[in-house]
């Protein structure tokens, strides 16, 4: 059954969404937590995003940003409610209801615990001790709802000497060791432009919560899920860690090269700043590349007879491949090489990705009409279920947009009671001026 709000009433209609009936209270900010809850929303869960008027999700920015604010706004215009139209916010907080509560206020805490009693999952990614200091840590919320699953996403994990350290994806790439193997030889450690750990942690959090939900189905009890962003990121380095553990060998940066494949790299194509990525792992793939570029005789060239020879003569090989790729656009090269069984992919810019015919054919994009940001394309889920559809994208909510629906519909507060909370500053739909 699908739950939706009509006025102040929560109504139910039939559907086939996989996680229908699941309710998540989402205190998370920035990226990792919002990514996880975004996927739950697509699968049919009811996600209630909870913020404070004085400490909004960082993704929203400031209540009154300055003229040089670096955040991305639609059309470069901040608008009357800039905190409702930042790109990061409207991307990561789709399919969610928005509620505001001051958790430092005793009444706000009381209402929060009331929501805990009617929710299945709590998600937060504050510093390790924040919720405990508020008196709302796992011990407190599990007493209010023993079936609650509490996902605690933190930089370093909930235990250990660095448990209360904070971080962002940009620092985690360094601390977890990822930056040590990215970039070019003899260059500075490089981070990925999209702070790679955050979306990866979000996706893994989705899986961890599904495991906890399965356990609850078996036992009838909730649990604490202690998820370390640093540990997730270090997991990506399994091979390098194992190599050092066994041999003492430290993985080095290789740019676009690879120690086991040749040819391997990106090659220039026709047009300005157009490239294609090519990897040949096996002799069969190498033979396919030779056929594709119209030089089958290269297979008999002693310089390229096997992987080790091709690696030793990588620069000469790159010149041969580049002279061919320059004659075609990057899509053409990809298709010609793939026809011969060679792994290859056009290097797409953002402007190309959003109109890519394959992604369009897969239904990967939704067109969203946001009341503040206007019409834009939104990514959906990177998977489909054959027997269960996904929730079509509902635009990200404005700050506190669903205060009356949630506090009234789930906790039974009257309109006058919620009005009083607004007057006291415990809830509301505009930020605290200092935010």
DSSP H or E run through 234: helix 229-235
Nearest by Cα to 8 from 414, 397, 394, 426? 414
- Alpha carbon distance 304, 313 (integer Å): 7
The two beta strands, 223-228 and 264-268, are unpaired
C-alpha span between 402 and 271 (Å, rounded): 49
Q: Which two tokens stand for residue 374?
A: 């206007």
Rounded CA-CA distance 350/354 in Å is 6
Distances (CA, A) of 304 to 281, 284, 299, 311: 13, 13, 7, 8
Bridge partners, residue 377, by sequence = 367
For residue 220, the surrounding DSSP H or E stretch is none
Residue 102 appears among annotated catalytic residues: no
Query: Hey, how many other C-beta atoms are within 10 angstroms of the C-beta on 260?
Result: 9
3-class SS of residue 409: helix
Residue 86 DSSP code: B
Select which of 198, 226, 318, 429 is catalytic.
Answer: 198
- Measured between alpha carbons, how far is 280 from 88 in angstroms, rounded to an integer? 37
How far apart, in whole angstroms, are the C-alpha atoms of residue 204 and residue 196?
13
CA distance 224 to 145: 12
Where residue 363 falls (left for φ over 0; alpha for ψ -120 to 50; beta otherwise) is: left
Other beta carbons within 10 angstroms of residue 289's beta carbon come to 27
d(CA 33, CA 343): 34
CB 234 within 8 A of CB 241: yes
172: closest CA among 188, 192, 152, 186? Answer: 192
Could you give the CA distance from residue 137 to residue 144 in angstroms, rounded to a whole number? 11
Q: Are strands 46-51 and 96-100 parallel, antiparallel or unpaired?
A: parallel
Give which of 125, 100, 101 is closest to 31, Cα–Cα. Answer: 125
Catalytic positions are: 198
């Amino acid at each position: 059954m699908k739950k939706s709000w009509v006025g102040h009433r929560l109504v139910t209609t039939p559907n086939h969404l996989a996680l229908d009936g699941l309710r998540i209270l989402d205190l998370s900010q920035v990226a990792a937590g919002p990514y996880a809850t975004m996927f739950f929303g697509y699968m049919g869960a009811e996600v209630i995003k909870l913020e404070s008027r004085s400490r909004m999700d960082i993704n929203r920015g400031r209540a009154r940003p300055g003229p040089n604010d670096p955040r991305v706004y639609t059309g470069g215009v901040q608008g009357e409610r800039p905190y409702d139209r930042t790109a990061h916010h409207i991307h990561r907080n789709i399919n969610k209801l928005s509620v505001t509560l001051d958790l430092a206020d005793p009444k706000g805490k009381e209402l929060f615990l009331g929501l805990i009693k009617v929710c299945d999952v709590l998600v937060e990614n504050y510093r390790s001790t924040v919720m405990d200091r508020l008196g709302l840590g796992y011990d407190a919320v599990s007493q209010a709802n023993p079936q609650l699953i509490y996902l605690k996403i933190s930089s370093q994990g909930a235990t250990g000497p660095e448990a209360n350290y904070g971080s962002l994806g940009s620092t985690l790439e360094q601390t977890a060791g990822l930056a040590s193997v990215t970039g070019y030889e003899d260059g500075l450690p490089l981070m990925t432009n999209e702070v790679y750990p955050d979306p990866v942690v979000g996706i893994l959090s989705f899986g961890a919560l599904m495991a906890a939900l399965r356990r609850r189905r078996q036992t009838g009890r909730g649990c604490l899920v202690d998820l370390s962003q640093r540990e997730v990121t270090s997991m990506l380095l399994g091979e390098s860690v194992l190599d050092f553990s066994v041999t003492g060998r430290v993985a080095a940066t290789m740019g676009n090269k690879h120690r086991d494949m040749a040819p391997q790299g990106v090659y220039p194509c026709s047009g300005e700043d157009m490239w294609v990525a090519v990897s040949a792992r096996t002799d069969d793939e190498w033979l396919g590349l030779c056929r594709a570029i119209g030089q089958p005789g290269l297979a008999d060239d002693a310089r390229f007879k096997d992987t080790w020879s091709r690696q030793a003569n990588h620069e000469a090989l790159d010149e041969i491949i580049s002279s061919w790729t320059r004659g075609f656009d990057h899509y053409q090269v990809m298709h010609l090489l793939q026809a011969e069984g060679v792994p290859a992919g056009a290097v797409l810019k953002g402007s190309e990705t959003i109109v890519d015919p394959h992604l369009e054919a897969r239904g990967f994009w939704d067109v969203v009409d946001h009341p503040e940001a206007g019409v834009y394309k939104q990514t959906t889920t990177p998977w489909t279920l054959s027997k269960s559809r996904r929730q079509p994208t509902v635009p990200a909510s404005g700050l506190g947009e669903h205060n009356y629906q949630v506090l009234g519909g789930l906790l039974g507060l009257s309109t006058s009671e919620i009005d009083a909370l607004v007057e006291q500053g415990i809830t509301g739909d505009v930020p605290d001026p200092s935010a």
